[in-house]
Structure 1
């Protein structure tokens, strides 16, 4: 009895102390020192930079070393992303609009709250190429990306329509079989999102495959068994039901008008229009700020930047090696040219 109690207490202590540690190195001369950790709850947004997915931010030291640690993650496996970029804090929102940032580097992995994961430098100080983890599923996405790189090479050997069609058929099956061999439903979702992407040449093969292959229902069963509470499972079930419904509708009555397609098209059109106007709005804001700054002299623009940082006149004067009275003169000129009355008015023009 005493032995059982001791074992139970040890287990409880181990559980209470369970925490994750994700660490690695970046080349500090190449990247910003800010490193971000994101949780991916939408497998259609596995790759990219999405501010709503970020759960932690840290700063690499002078050697490039960084670490995320704590005990706030899910106890079950989930999809995570670590990324760095070359975007400053001031321009990050604009550059990451709609998940796109051309100057970024990321690595996607599977982990849970008990995992230790390390991302060492690889050949020629390349970052985010290798994963060392206590979770044997962690590097599944790296292996998939490696296979996709082989696929792109195969496509590039002969740039012809015939070669493309042959490769489409071959690689669709190859990727699907590779996903099953990994024995990890989350990795299969990564491949599924790629094969079923409506913008991909492989989508037509997915539609045909869905008609007769029970693979997709089996994947649903594996997700329900392994990840019943995960958002990925619900998302996949809904997508599969939607695609199956549209497929059956088109087969049962090919001549009838399919309202589903119209609704989807209208939704897509609405999204595109909204994205267009949001983009226009962002550009308009940036243009307005530029116009306001153009009204000022070079020296006044420098003083303006310090005013926006909420520095006092004395601090600005010391930084620019000018007298306080000169700073006051520049400040008054800025007020007049921007047609404002106070620092708060200036700040509202550039920060709203």
Structure 2
């Protein structure tokens, strides 16, 4: 009987422990107390902050301590991000939508549902610079970022074209080899994303390397063996096939007649022209909006953002910890400075 009770107790204990715990500290005097946990399912969106990736939010206490815990994560390793920022709720809706939140601090890490993760202050109380975890793969991204910092130093030592070319060749292989040595395909994807970025100086080396190096097929096999059901694996396979198709087309394996080429060139030029005119129109409109906002005080600009979201005076007062009469005063000042008579006029002014 005692043995049965012991077995039941051990079973219950193992179930209770089958949950994740991610905790750490932020500086409450420097950052907003809101802390976000995201899952990164598209490895091209590791850099930045995207609202569709956020899976949990918590609020740090007065000391800056926060914790995420539960049992809803995958049982296999996945890529996660914890981030803090100084954006207001309105700014978050805008910034998180396009992936850019310049006033933020983030950490990428690898974890699964049973992992514990602690993020202590380090390096003169900077946040998210150190990881303590029971998962040995958790800190792979920090190791890669540290190597990339060494690379930036090497580039900056001599700012010449010759030095940059030499460093491009050296660091392309250095990063690739380092990723393979980590024995973690997700870490290799982090490096692959950087090396194959079309906006990077290293992209030309990636194109040449793809022609003759079997590394990329080996990485595909490692992903298929380790993460057969992860979105990263399918995404990588699709990208690899697309890049090789474009290489083959560039080498003349796919013939296009002259008329098709001219047609595509014309269509491309047409699209670029439309984009140019659209950009010019957007630029003029943005300039006009900034000019209008410059007439308002900082507090009035914040109230304006709430007005444009159709919030009532009471809602605005509660959100900004102001009295309703103060909100009305700010609203009247906004109308007067913008030379409008109502909320509808104001919205019409900013939606032109």
Shorter-normalised TM-score: what interval? 0.7 to 0.9
Instruction: Look up the match of 2:149.
Output: 149
2:49 is aligned to: 49
Count of matched residue positions in the alignment of Structure 1 and Structure 2: 334
Mapping of residues 270-289 of structure 1, within 5 Å: 276=279, 283=286
Q: Does residue 313 of structure 2 align to residue 307 of structure 1?
A: yes
Q: How far apart, in 2, do the equivalents of 1:92 and 1:307 lie?
A: 21
Return the alpha-carbon distance in structure 2 between the equivalents of residues 35 and 277 of structure 1.
37
Q: Secondary structure at the match of 2:251?
A: helix
TM-score by structure 1 length? 0.78
* CA deviation string 1:207-250 (max 9, x = no partner): 11111111001101111111111111111000000011111222
Checking the alignment, whether the CA contact within 8 Å between 1:308 and 1:347 is kept in structure 2 is no
Aligned to 2:233: 233
Distance 1:251 1:18 in 2: 53
Corresponding residue number in structure 1 for 2:213: 213
C-alpha deviation, 1:349, in angstroms: 8.1
Q: Are the structure 2 counterparts of residues 45 and 329 from structure 1 closer, same or farther at C-alpha, using a change threshold of 3 Å?
A: closer
Matched, 1:110 2:73: no
Mark the runs of 5 or more structure 1 residues left unpaired by the alignment: 321-326
SS at match of 1:66: strand
Label 1:14 to 1:153 Cα distance change in 2 as closer, same or farther (>3 A). Answer: same
For the residues of structure 1 that align with 2:272 and 2:49, how far apart are their CA atoms? 23
In structure 2, relative to structure 1, the CA distance for the partners of 1:193 and 1:3 (3 Å cut) is: farther
The 1:9–1:251 alpha-carbon spacing in structure 2 relative to 1, beyond 3 Å, is farther
C-alpha contact (below 8 Å) 2:227/2:233 kept by paired residues: yes
Structure 1 vs Structure 2 CA RMSD: 4.4
Deviation for aligned residue 1:94: 3.1
Please give the residue correspondences for 1:1-352 in structure 2 after superposition, counting only pairs within 5 Å.
Answer: 10=10, 14-15=14-15, 17-96=17-96, 98-253=98-253, 256=256, 276=279, 283=286, 290=293, 307=313, 309=315, 339-340=341-342
Q: What's the secondary structure of 2:90's corresponding residue?
A: coil
Equivalent residues of 2:220, 2:237 under 8 A apart: yes
Tell me if structure 2 keeps the 8 A contact 1:20–1:112.
yes
The structural deviation recorded for 1:162 is 0.9
**CA shift in 2, pair 1:92/1:272, >3 Å:** farther
CA distance in 1, matches of 2:207, 2:329: 69
